[in-house]
Amino acid sequence: MRFCTAGATGVVLSGLLATPLPAQERQGGRFGVQVGITFSKFGGQDAEDARVQYGFAAGGFATLDLGRYVALQPELLYAQKGVRFTGPGGSSSILLGYLEVPLLLKLRLPASRGFSGVSPHVFGGASIGYRVDCRITLASGTSSISQTCGEEDQNPPRRLDGGLVFGAGVDVGRVKASARFSFGLIRLDSSSESNDIKNRAFYLLVGTTFRAPQ
């Protein structure tokens, strides 16, 4: 029974990949740009009293069709992540900027009749990122101090980050909108203690798609 189930799944996936695209979708790939906001905070067993930090994300993507319903979407994003903490004496925040390279598998869902220009989809994949910016802000009352990580902190967050990405979206003509969750798998703590602290982020993105030159 397990063999039959696996075989049936393989046949279905092969059919999706082999389904021919309409002529207007088959000529060349597509690329585009997207921008949005991020809602992030640290996760893991040692991430206590963490609050949401807001940031932004922007970058480009390419969509490579593998069939009518399946596409591969590599991306390049600059994304801000971090965390906020509040207490009786004031608040503090950490804002991290990453260059990220997500590689996503996109599954298009059939649209209802009368909505031929609308293409809902779900996607999932993995992402690797490299930290290019890190800023710590301490605030108390009306005063605040901001500094770059490493100026006084001997153990700034690790440079390399990576994790899983999954979400859903909709394309309306050349306009696209999506929501995604990024689940970090690499511990950020670079000290010898290696505390279990990882990135968690939710993205809301909008963008536009262009036809690749022939």
Asked if residue 42 lies in contact with residue 25, where contact means CB atoms within 8 angstroms, the answer is no
The CATH code of the domain that includes 88 is 2.40.160.20
Q: Does a structural domain hold residue 6?
A: no
Q: Does a structural domain hold residue 65?
A: yes
Place of tokens 């696209």: 176
Range of the domain at 149: 22-211
What does the pLDDT look like over 88-128, one tens digit per residue?
778 889 999 999 999 999 999 987 665 667 889 999 999 99
pTM recorded for the entire structure: 0.81
Q: How confident is the model at residue 50 (pLDDT cuts 50, 70, 90)?
A: confident
What does the pLDDT look like over 152-192, one tens digit per residue?
656 789 999 999 999 999 999 899 999 999 999 999 988 87
Number of domains in the chain: 1
Tell me the C-alpha distance between 64 and 21, whole Å. Answer: 12
| Token representation of residue 147 | 């500094």
Q: Does a structural domain hold residue 193?
A: yes
